[in-house]
Amino acid sequence: MDKSFPLTGWSSVAVHAGHEQDPNYAHLVPIYASSTFVFDEAEQGMRRFSGKEDGYIYSRWGNPTFTEAENKIAALETFELEKDGIPLEAKGILHASGMSAITTLLLSTLKPGDKILTHYSLYGGTEEIMSKVLPTLGISAIITDLRDLKKASAAIANDKAIKMLYIETPANPTIQCVDIEQLSKLAKENNLITACDNTFATPYLQQPFRFGIDFIVHSTTKFLNGHGTAIGGILLGSNLEFMKTKAYAMAKTLGGNANPFDAFLLITGMKTLELRMERHCSNAMEVAHFLENHAAVAKVNYTGLASHPDHLIAKKQMRHPGAMLSFELQGGLQAGINFMNKLKMCVRTVSLGTCDTLLSHPASMTHYSVPKEEKEKYGITDGLIRMNVGIENLQDIISDLDQALT
Ligand SMILES: Cc1ncc(COP(=O)(O)O)c(C=O)c1O
């Protein structure tokens, strides 16, 4: 593609951004299954190691297949955004998983004595790294309800050790949302680093950089890959210098690098992100309405419904409310188990972000061993079902749910 050609549409960027002409004229980026890269001469090795010449050295440090995925996601997260009148740029570092991207973020930005301000209902792995791993390094997290700006402000005012605001919106598993713009503004007024996990939304639905967020993390395992074929993650930052130096040095040292085959699957999946998200979201809205009117359902949690407490925040910062919803069955635990067992097309599993509709029952699966009072604090009741609404034809999703609910 001619680099001077402006890409003006979202899917044009998703399809073409990041792609470089292959030296052997392969149509698609090859899977560079090579752990190391050769030098023409010793002097070239010297130039590459000293940073005087760009080029690949060793795949833990970078690989051409990773580069295409990194540049594509960076282009999507910054699409149509500007800073001081010039197009915003970001740099991404692809990782083996969302968790490894989060680890690089936290360890490259924080030091002993620092604290993170965050909220309830983070993804379980993130919560664990903050509550179990970081304290061993002298870093801790303060959890408050960040949907209440007064509480956020009070927490920051009370503790000068807070250095980072970390948000996940919509959050896993409750789909709670926080106001990125307001929180980012508050954080900047207090010189805090800001980071947002954008996994549930994807850059198609929400661009945290638009609101001045410094770092974005994704579990690319989910909607970005879109087909459930690989675990992966990315850390993105708009401070290019920091990304190229501190973040890159930390990522290289920790060794949570991606692998070329998974990067290739991710690149392939991302080309259809807009099409998939449009369908996921329109199906989710219809499924939410169907469930809302079903006698066996006590409550539907979907930010697209005006009844959801975070409806207005989601509407303000997201293009559509997303593909994830949850609902509570009238009959509690046994009703949840019966419903899950009756599903015929929809799939019983715990992940999300795939083309097929996936359902899980936290009380009998992910949260089986969590004490009841603890579960209820997070809104996880016995009859709660979590759903990733897929891109199948709507009537088949609804028919399957209907027969399983009766
Ligand atoms: C919001 C969110 N962030 C991060 C992660 C961790 O990603 P991974 O499983 O790719 O390490 C997950 C995984 O489910 C997630 O849902």
Say what percent of the chain tops pLDDT 70: 100
Stretch 95-123: mean pLDDT: 97
Domains and CATH numbers, the chain: 10-270 (3.40.640.10), 273-405 (3.90.1150.10)
- pLDDT greater than 90 at residue 132: yes
pLDDT recorded at residue 271: 98
Amino acid at 221: T
Q: How far is CA 334 from CA 330, 337, 370, 374, in A?
A: 10, 5, 17, 20
The per-residue pLDDT for range 144-200, each reduced to its tens digit, is 999 999 999 999 999 999 999 999 999 987 889 999 999 999 999 999 999 999 999
The per-residue pLDDT for range 274-318, each reduced to its tens digit, is 999 999 999 999 999 999 999 999 999 999 999 999 999 999 999
Q: How many CB atoms lie within 10 A of CB 275?
A: 14
Asked whether 175 and 322 are in contact (CB, 8 A), the reply is yes
Q: Is 120 left (phi over 0), alpha (psi -120 to 50) or beta?
A: beta
Considering the chain, what is the average pLDDT of its residues?
A: 96
Spatial distance between the Cα atoms of 162 and 377, rounded to a whole number of angstroms: 25
Atom of ligand 1 nearest to the CA of 101: 11
State whether the beta carbon of 97 lies less than 6 angstroms from ligand 1: yes
Pocket test for ligand 1, best of 105, 106, 168, 172 (most atoms within 8 A of CB): 172
Can you read off the two tokens belonging to residue 381? 């009741």
Task: State the pairing for strand pair 140-143/115-118.
Answer: parallel
The per-residue pLDDT for range 11-63, each reduced to its tens digit, is 999 999 999 999 999 999 999 999 999 999 999 999 999 999 999 999 999 99
What is the reported pTM? 0.97
pLDDT recorded at residue 120: 87
Place of tokens 């690949």: 56
State whether the beta carbon of 221 lies less than 6 angstroms from ligand 1: yes
Pocket test for ligand 1, best of 123, 206, 259 (most atoms within 8 A of CB): 123
